Amino acid sequence: MHTTPTAPRLAGHALVEALIAQGVDTCFGVPGESFLAVLDGFHEYREQIRFIAARQDGGAAFMAEAQGKLDGRPGICFVTRGPGAANASIGIHNAFQDSTPMIVFIGQVASDQRDREAFQEVDYRQMLGPGTLGMAKWVAEVERADRLPEYVARAFHTAMQGRPGPVVLVLPEDMLTTPITTPVLPRVKPAQAWPAPGALRDLRALLMQAKQPFVIAGGSGWTGESVAALQRFAENWHLPVGCGFRFQDTFDNRHPLYAGDVGIGINPKLAQRIRDADLVLAIGVRLGEMTTSGYTLLEPPRPRQTLVHLHAGAEELGRVYAADLLLQCSLAGAGKALETLAAPPQVPWGEWADAANADYRANQVAPVVEPLDMAEVMKTVQRLSPDDTIYANGAGNFSGWLHRYVAYPGLQHHGRTQLACTSGAMGYGVPAAVAAALLQPTRTVINVAGDGDFLMTGQELATAKAYGAQRLIVIVVDNGTYGTIRMHQEREFPGRVSGSDLANPDFAALARAYGWGASHVARTADFEPAFRAALDSGQPHLIHLTLDTDVITSRTTLGAIRAAALQRQART
């Protein structure tokens, strides 16, 4: 590590040095002429760090966001100015809503051309600027080359501390070609927050008064040790635990205290259980629209239940709900803090907790659907896949089968096993899965995608092939429609379909054109042999599933939704 001024080198090279000093060995992006000096730095230090060139900037940003989820330190993305930044903004927004640490470096026009609307010039402070509902935690333009290492270190601090999230650094082209002697700074370690002792005492008092408590855990920033401690806290107090929307690997789904996922398509019995709880302990989760079922499980601004909210970000506490107790705590220490609470010899809610798990297990049973049963498909995927498999998905109704029928191990066992976007960004799953396969090549990675979802970023199959991804399987659920939109159309305007039908390619043939293995499945009985062959191949493989459009969710059909809507209209 440099501690004194070094020999002059281009600022673009110093930026790559700074990333290496932060422990980064892989970056994602799409090359651009605005940061050629950085690309040359990647060549200079190619034995220490690699640049993965994606096929579209949005895909690159999703890859970096997945990197942040897997690693807990910022994922790194480079894109060029104007169109590159605009494409990448979807990944920045995803990282913001998912509280994922990420740093996006955007090339910029030369300093002497600023404010002339030069080629592809954009003011990124205005475009991506921070705020309560912004896209990034911090956006800065590095105007002085000698301060570049300082900005990089601050970007890492900002991305990881408090509520994690994305940071954007803008790099003028001429700044990057300026020689500097400034040393890079040491590896950043985020500051950790711990609840006040009095707050923990108050939490214990509320638990002692409860008769029907419920825990909702999730969010970004957990470590394996903290999740293991959270599990011990739940065991000590015999607390039922649900996981927030698309954070299902926060608590081992196979544990007898697990109650299910609290998100879209929630088990109706679980939803009622949360409404009936007298104490809700929300640990790490943002209490947003998806986790609260449209702000109905907990009614704002003052819930009927006693509410305790623990979160890493002070700005999140009290944002929507007037909770009875607020605790600011880094999630890396949250489980350990809660574990210090001494439990009584017995609690009065033992049957309540056991019933919550029984409801979860009963929710795994589904009626048989012909000719292709998605519940059986997902159960087969889990039964045959290694325990440390990483599951990725984008947005769409298809994900409901994955979330309902796959049991995620807690991340204390294998690290993150779920890569899913709480922002609801279509196209997330393929790039996230590609990133996971490249970053953790010894693990199996499975992406479940809808037909509309897949075609948003399906070109990243080329990226996977180019960089040697191996244990990667993509399962495309093709029902010929934007399923979520079609479902809502039938619910609100039954029988009046517009814009949601899709004309799709032969996905298996498309995958073969990218050099992938591929197969097509239309019947349940054919899925297991196709999936076994994909696993055994050790190479990227796509399985194209064709599903009847009427089979729209894991709980109902389009026909049933349409009939209910028509009956409702008739009554009114």
Task: Mean pLDDT check: name the lowest of 119-123, 410-414, 449-453.
Answer: 119-123
Mean pLDDT to the nearest integer, 284-305? 96
Question: Helix/strand/coil (H, E, C) string of 222-271?
Answer: CCHHHHHHHHHHHHHHCCCEEEECCCHHHCCCCCCCEEEEECCCCCHHHH
Structure-token pair, residue 528? 């297991």
CB 364 within 8 A of CB 274: no
pLDDT at 358 over 90: yes
Instruction: Pick the closest to residue 209 from 256, 271, 277 (CA basis).
Output: 277
Torsion of CA 386, 285, 299, 343, to 10 degrees: 90
CB 292 within 8 A of CB 286: no
Residue type at 54? Answer: A
pLDDT at res. 117: 82
Mean pLDDT to the nearest integer, 355-382? 96
C-alpha dist (Å) from residue 464 to 65, 179, 185, 402, 434: 16, 35, 33, 23, 6
Q: What is the pLDDT of residues 532-563, one digit of tens each?
A: 999 999 999 999 999 999 999 999 999 999 99
d(CA 84, CA 122): 11
Structure-token pair, residue 86? 């605009």
DSSP string, 111-167: GGGTTS--TT---HHHHH--STT-S-SEEEE---GGGHHHHHHHHHHHHHSSS--EE
Q: What is the pLDDT of residues 219-232, one digit of tens each?
A: 999 999 999 999 99
pLDDT at 352 over 60: yes
Mean pLDDT to the nearest integer, 508-512? 98
pLDDT at res. 2: 46
To the nearest whole percent, how much of the chain has pLDDT over 90? 92
pLDDT at 502 over 60: yes
CB 199 within 8 A of CB 225: no
**In terms of residues, how long is the chain?**
572
Higher pLDDT, 40 or 366: 40
Question: For the chain, what is the mean pLDDT?
Answer: 95
Domains of the chain: 9-180 (3.40.50.970), 197-362 (3.40.50.1220), 374-571 (3.40.50.970)
Helix H or strand E encompassing 9: strand 9-10
Q: Report the SS3 class of residue 537.
A: helix
d(CA 407, CA 194): 31
pLDDT at res. 3: 53
DSSP string, 504-524: ---HHHHHHHTT-EEEEE-SH
Mean pLDDT to the nearest integer, 324-340? 97
Surface-to-core class of residue 499, CB atoms within 10 Å of its CB (0-12 exposed, 13-18 middle, 19+ buried): exposed
Within 13 Å of residue 283, how many CA atoms lie on the same side as its CB? 32
Q: What is the pLDDT of residues 466-491, one digit of tens each?
A: 999 999 999 999 999 999 999 999 99
pLDDT at res. 134: 73
CB 164 within 8 A of CB 220: yes
pLDDT at 25 over 60: yes
Q: What is the pLDDT of residues 389-418, one digit of tens each?
A: 999 999 999 999 999 999 999 999 999 999
CB 11 within 8 A of CB 174: no
d(CA 431, CA 461): 8
Q: pLDDT-derived band of residue 4, with 50, 70 and 90 as boundaries?
A: low
DSSP string, 343-387: PPS--TTHHHHHHHHHHHHHTT-----SS--HHHHHHHHHHHS-T
